[in-house]
A = this chain, B = another copy of it.
Amino acid sequence: MTMLSQTQGAALWAAMAGARIIDLAQPMRRGMPQSPNHPPFQMALQRRHGDYVRADGGSAANEIIITGGHVGTHVDALAHVSQDGKVFGGLDAYGIQSHEGFAEHGIDAFPPFVGRCVVLDVARLHGVDHLPPGYGVTAEDLQSAADAAAVEVRAGDAVLIGTGWSRRWDDKDAFIGLTDGVPGPDTAAAQWLIDREVVVAGGETIAFEQIKAGAGHASLPVHRMLLVEAGINIVETMRLAELLDARVAEVLLVLAPLRIVGATGAPVRPLAVIPAEGGIDG
């Protein structure tokens, strides 16, 4: 049996020693903010302690969970969106969907991501807690935020756009933004991400898109550009406030959505790993 070499282990544990882990998932509970287009989240205890007590005095509790692939913090699969009947790669959308979900481009086709993630805090750039509803984050915003942090986006990275919107989580109607809209990337910002060959991008809103007041989901060009055209997955409804408060522009992101075969999306518990000050060479 091979074991991790002392060298390998030492490097990894040293790099991880004292690392700060930031939870990027919003809590899931009945009544949570979510899109009305998706199944309302429900969790109910099926069995409670005492319902059945074994001869040895032991008892157990469990629950039923009802949700959707786009409820709470989640990752969109490439199959989620089609344009003129096609999904990413020119596949016929109608030919890959069935009672078994999606035979191609389902969330199970997204390789769990563990890698470099650049955090572009556009809210801070503008000196606000959160960008205004309906605000379109521009390519200039992204570049300025990167410059301010002296960080660059590299191919293979994940990029998270900080709109500050997760600071509004407790104001359910405002957060969902049906009436007033939500901030999000405009098409030029989407192109900026595509040009830099990121593999996943996302943020705090339910839909990673600029949605103006009253516009609803009549048009979601960023979803089309990222999912259908560029094959870049999207992560949404992230809890970024704590990460933004940490003022860190580069983290190790772990993004491993549930392995639901053929789904158009899946819930996820993303984590940002920030090594301790000093690191191994400090």
Say which residue of B1, B5, B43 sits within 8 Å of A101 (CB atoms).
B43
Q: How far is the CA of A79 from the CA of B270 in the complex (A)?
A: 23
Chain B neighbourhood of A254, CB < 8 A? 114, 254, 256, 271
The quantity of this chain's copies bound in the complex is 4
Q: Does residue A143 face the partner (Cβ distance < 8 Å to B)?
A: no
Chain B neighbourhood of A5, CB < 8 A? 277, 279, 282
Residues 250-276 of chain A: 1 if any B CB is under 8 Å from the residue's CB, otherwise 0?
Answer: 111010111111111101111101111
Q: How far is the CA of A270 from the CA of B269 in the complex (A)?
A: 10
Say which residue of B14, B114, B277 sits within 8 Å of A271 (CB atoms).
B114
Determine whether the beta carbon of A275 is less than 8 Å from that of B112: no
Q: How far is the CA of A25 from the CA of B54 in the complex (A)?
A: 31
Determine whether the beta carbon of B19 is less than 8 Å from that of A114: yes
Residues 137-165 of chain A: 1 if any B CB is under 8 Å from the residue's CB, otherwise 0?
Answer: 00000000000111100000000000000
Q: Which residue of B lies closest to A255 (CB)?
A: B269
For the complex with contacts A44-B99, A63-B101, 5 further pairs of A-B residues with Cβ separation under 8 Å are A14-B280, A43-B262, A55-B218, A59-B83, A65-B69
Q: List 15 A-B contacts (CB under 8 A).
A: A7-B279, A7-B282, A9-B250, A11-B14, A14-B15, A39-B46, A43-B101, A45-B97, A54-B217, A59-B81, A60-B80, A61-B97, A62-B264, A63-B69, A65-B66
